[in-house]
């Protein structure tokens, strides 16, 4: 979680400076549900995410250097500089790609689960998406396929209450996203996204179900993002009610875990400081690596449109 927090803070600053260009969506505040869910996966399980994409591969274990270089558009980036912030992917750790069209990853995640099932690989697919995606037609089709074919997929809705500036309760009659699960005939579970341990347990159960062939689960993590939808959108919008930010800041996932580790698990301040420092250093190293790396050659703009055979 520290890695994600430090990474996102740095990326946000770099984006505001113009060092990272394009559209960047950071996930400070959501580290609990990201890390809790990813920790419930095996290394060879699959994961598909969305445009708010940096935390997901970090949670899945991708090296920060390749991610940072990708954000800077360098050829050492995980996608060779061809994808950028919204399209991070690291197939070596099972991160099958973040996709920036809202909802588009859901049927594909069901497909990855289907492919794993057909080949008897025993692998589970975790699909991250936001509350806004649940309005998209493709989301419903993907859910339906997963249910009718008992696919080994866990759908994790990162409900941070807003689609850009639009509150979830204005685009859905059902109070909780998880309530939608019944329409497809799959279980729907709500979890406190800020409690990383709780998320780990809930998602762990869903992963177990999937791996056992019992089918998909829709997990709704209640969470919050501190930053705007896009990192350079400033605080021009006043769609958030008074006091909401403070309420969620008080439930910051890092803060909650920190407290738990100190109170219940015998960690010391020094130990925690060491962890935080290590995270900071790893992020700094990734930034330095990214900055020192070269840009891709012009010719690479034309590769991987189709397979190299042709």
The residue range among 15-23, 138-146, 168-176, 280-288 that interacts with another protein, by the rule CB under 8 A, is 138-146
How far is it, in rounded angstroms, from Cα 162 to Cα 131?
7
Task: Provide Rg for the chain, Cα atoms.
Answer: 19
Residue 199 phi, psi (nearest 5): -65, -45
How far is it, in rounded angstroms, from Cα 24 to Cα 27?
10
Between 127 and 257, CB nearer to another protein: 127
Between 123 and 229, CB nearer to another protein: 123
Contact status, residue 48 vs residue 105, Cβ threshold 8 Å:
yes
- Residues 42-61 binding another protein (CB under 8 A) are 46, 48
Q: Name the minimum Å distance from CB 309 to another protein.
A: 7
Q: Site for another protein (CB under 8 A): which residue of 129, 145, 155, 224?
A: 145
Q: Site for another protein (CB under 8 A): which residue of 28, 53, 104, 134?
A: 104
Q: Site for another protein (CB under 8 A): which residue of 29, 32, 107, 163?
A: 107
Q: Site for another protein (CB under 8 A): which residue of 35, 68, 116, 186?
A: 116
- Residues 76-95 binding another protein (CB under 8 A) are 77-83, 87, 89-91
Q: Site for another protein (CB under 8 A): which residue of 118, 236, 298, 299?
A: 118
Q: Where are the beta strands (DSSP E) in 92-215?
A: 95-98, 125-130, 153-159, 162-163, 166-167, 188-192
How far is it, in rounded angstroms, from Cα 97 to Cα 119?
21
Task: Specify which residues 126 forms β-bridges with.
Answer: 47, 154
Estimate the crossing angle of helix 269-292 against helix 253-264, to 10 degrees.
140
How far is it, in rounded angstroms, from Cα 178 to Cα 87?
27
- Footprint of another protein (CB under 8 A): 46, 48, 77-83, 87, 89-91, 96-97, 99, 101, 104, 106-116, 118-119, 121, 123, 125, 137-138, 141-142, 144-145, 148, 303-307, 309-310
């Amino acid at each position: 979680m520290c890695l994600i927090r430090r990474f996102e803070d740095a990326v946000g600053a770099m984006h505001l400076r113009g060092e990272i260009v394009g559209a960047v969506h950071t996930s400070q505040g959501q580290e609990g549900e990201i890390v809790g869910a990813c920790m419930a996966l095996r290394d060879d399980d699959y994961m598909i995410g969305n445009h708010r994409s940096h935390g997901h591969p970090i949670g899945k274990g991708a090296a920060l250097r390749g991610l940072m270089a990708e954000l800077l558009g360098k050829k050492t980036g995980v996608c060779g500089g061809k994808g950028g912030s919204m399209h991070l992917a690291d197939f070596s750790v099972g991160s099958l790609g973040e996709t920036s069209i809202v909802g588009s990853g859901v049927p594909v995640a069901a497909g990855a689960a289907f492919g794993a099932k057909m080949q008897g690989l025993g692998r589970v697919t975790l699909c991250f998406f936001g509350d806004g995606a649940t309005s998209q037609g493709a989301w419903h089709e993907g859910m339906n396929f997963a249910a009718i074919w008992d696919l080994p997929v866990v759908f994790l809705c990162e409900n941070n209450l807003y689609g850009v500036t639009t509150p979830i309760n204005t685009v859905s009659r059902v109070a909780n996203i998880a309530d939608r699960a019944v329409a497809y005939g799959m279980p729907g579970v709500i979890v406190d996204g800020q409690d990383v341990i709780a998320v780990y347990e809930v998602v762990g159960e869903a992963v177990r179900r999937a791996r056992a062939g019992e089918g998909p689960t829709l997990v709704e993590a209640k969470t919050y993002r501190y930053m705007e939808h896009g990192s350079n959108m400033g605080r021009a919008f006043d769609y958030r009610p008074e006091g909401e930010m403070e309420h969620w800041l008080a439930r910051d996932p890092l803060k909650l875990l920190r407290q738990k580790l100190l109170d219940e698990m015998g960690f010391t301040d020094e130990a925690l400081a060491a962890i935080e420092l290590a995270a900071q250093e790893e992020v700094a190293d990734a930034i330095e690596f990214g900055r020192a790396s070269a840009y891709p050659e012009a010719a690479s703009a034309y590769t991987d449109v189709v397979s190299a055979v042709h």
